[in-house]
Amino acid sequence: MANITKRQFKRYCDIVYNECGINLTEEKWQLLNARIGKRIRKLGVQPEKYLSMIEKDPDELNSFLDAVSTNHTYFFRESKTFKFLDTSCRNIWCTACSSGEEPYSLLTYCLELGFEPSILATDISDSCLEKARRAIYPKKSLAHIPKHMIKRYFQKGVGKWEDHVRLKKHISRMVKFEKFNLLKDFPPSKNFDIIFCRNVMIYFDIPTKEK
């Protein structure tokens, strides 16, 4: 499969920027090529043809954005910010929840403080939201969680799942997951006490951050 050309890279980047605000620089050329390569091979098309497909087909555009969005996360990432949480933070919006580690971290942290928050967790990626609702994670993603919290909120996997854990059902049901595009969708009408967006803002340029 041929690599994407500089001109094609620019077009792909423009689509990503216009659709979800992520600003891809030339340093991301090979990363983008690798991310979409699997999808291109599956469809049996060349990069130029794939460009026309995502420009015309909303479903394929969705698959493309799903492939290129960054989903690096783990439990209690950037947990120093959690110190701002107290019982006044009843309504929380996690704006780019990826596969669910951040909102579940916020939830269990609040439960440890003695209250149950209302958490809306959103993301642009359908596959990430599916993983978040499933709430099954490799044990290594729990490295920053205190052991007593792992015992309290998670179940150990067995058999082929022995290297994984699952959030207990009554805990995972406390978070509401929805698809949301920060750049294009109208913000929820609900008032929030605190909004977590740091780990998505880092991928935006200044004009998009201001917007």
What DSSP element (H or E) covers 201?
helix 198-201
The conformation of residue 173, written as its DSSP 8-state character, comes to T
Indicate which residue of 14, 41, 123, 133 is catalytic: 123
Residue 35: active-site member = yes
**For residues 92 and 141, what is the distance between their CA atoms, to the nearest angstrom?**
23
Residue 139 and residue 32: Cα distance in Å, rounded?
29
Taking a C-beta distance cutoff of 8 angstroms, is the pair 106, 119 a contact?
A: yes
Does the active-site annotation cover 123?
yes
State the Cα–Cα distance between residues 55 and 208, nearest whole angstrom. Answer: 22
- Distance in angstroms (rounded) separating the CA atoms of residues 99 and 128: 4
Take residue 43 and report the two structure tokens written for it.
Answer: 């469809």
Both tokens of 4, joined, read: 């994407």
The span from the CA of 88 to the CA of 94, in Å, is 16
Task: Estimate to the nearest angstrom the gap between the alpha carbon of 179 and the chain centroid.
Answer: 10
Q: Which one of the listed residues 11, 35, 77, 166 is annotated catalytic? A: 35
The catalytic residues are 35, 123
